[in-house]
Amino acid sequence: MSVSVADRLAEAGIVLPPAPQALGDYVPAIRCGDFVYTSGQLPMVDGQLVASGIVGADVDSQSAADCARVAVLNALAAASAVCELDDVIGVVKLVGYVASAVEFSSQPAVLNAASAVLIQAFGDAGKHAREAIGVCVLPMNAPVEVSLVLSLSKLTIPEGF
C-alpha cells in the first residue's frame, strides 16, 4: 500500500489548508480530462497575505521562499477541491511569479521552496517542469504567485529523474 499525500505532508510537518476561495470571476482549480489546472495562488493564510511587497526591496529571499511554500500549498488545496490528491500521478508544471526589484535575480531560488513541497507531497512524481518569472507587481501586492498543472494519468518522465 502506498503512502497518501496527506501522510507524506504530515510526515514533513505540513498541513494542507482549506481550499481557497476565488477572489474574482474564476475558479481556483479546474479538471479537464486527466489534468488539473490551478489558477494563480497567492501566499494567503486565513484570507490574509503572509507578506506583501517586492522581493529584494520590501521582502527578503527567505520570506519570499516561505511565501512560495504557502502559495503552493494553496494550489494543492485548490486542486483537492476538484480531484483526490492521491490520484495525482505526476506534477507536470509549476509556474511561479516573483514580484522582483530590478536587481533581484534569484527567482529560481525563491521557487525552490514550492518545488520542495511538491516533492515532499508526491515523491518522485512531484518532480516537474518549472518557470520562475520575475515581474514588477502581483495582485494585492503579493510577493509570489504560483500555479500548477497536475496529471491524473500516466506521464512519460525522461531517464535520469
In the chain, the percentage of residues whose pLDDT exceeds 70 is 94
Using the structure block, give the residue that is written with the C-alpha cell 483526490.
84
In this predicted model, what pLDDT tens digit does every residue of 107-158 receive, in sequence order? 999 999 999 999 999 999 999 999 999 999 999 999 999 999 999 976 555 6
* pTM, entire model: 0.93
Give domain status of residue 20, yes or no: no
Q: What is the CATH number of the domain that holds 129?
A: 3.30.1330.40
Residue 75: give the domain boundaries: 5-15+29-147
Task: Give the number of domains in the chain.
Answer: 1
Q: How far apart are CA 131 and CA 94, in angstroms?
A: 7
Contacts of residue 13, defined as CB under 8 A and 6 or more positions apart, other chains included, come to none
Asked if the structure places residue 91 within a domain, the reply is yes
For the CA atoms of 27, 31, 36, 37, what is the dihedral angle to 10 degrees? Answer: -30
pLDDT of residue 10: 93
